Amino acid sequence: MLCSLTTDNCILFVAKDMVRGEGLAEGRESPPFLPIGSDAFGKVKDHSEITLDIPNEWEDAINFSSIQASQYTRCVVVTADIGS
């Protein structure tokens, strides 16, 4: 289903359903964030697939320190963005 309302109204429509647990959100637990937009699914899926590969490939580096990530409110993230 594609929303034919204005962008702001589409966002409000989805947010209302999430708060009330009805319509588009019925029977689902609300996620901590929900990207909205026709291109959001592909971008989030691509990013998630890359993110899922990181622990497997970098397990030794991740576990190299005895630091407990849960002790901190921020996580150290190092990125190498070489353009799109």
In order along its 84 residues, the chain shows pLDDT tens digits of: 667 667 778 888 888 998 899 998 999 988 888 888 888 889 989 988 888 888 889 888 888 877 776 665 555 555 555 554
Q: What is the pLDDT of residue 63?
A: 82
Do 55 and 62 touch, CB atoms closer than 8 A?
yes
What letter does residue 24 receive in the DSSP assignment?
G
**This model's pTM is above 0.75:** no
Nearest-CA neighbor of 40 among 48, 30, 32, 28? 48
Q: Tell me, yes or no, whether 19 lies in a domain.
A: yes
Q: Which residues contact 43 (CB under 8 A, 6 or more apart)?
A: 35
Domain that holds residue 24: 7-71
When divided into structural domains, the chain yields a total of: 1
Q: Tell me, yes or no, whether 82 lies in a domain.
A: no
Q: Tell me, yes or no, whether 2 lies in a domain.
A: no
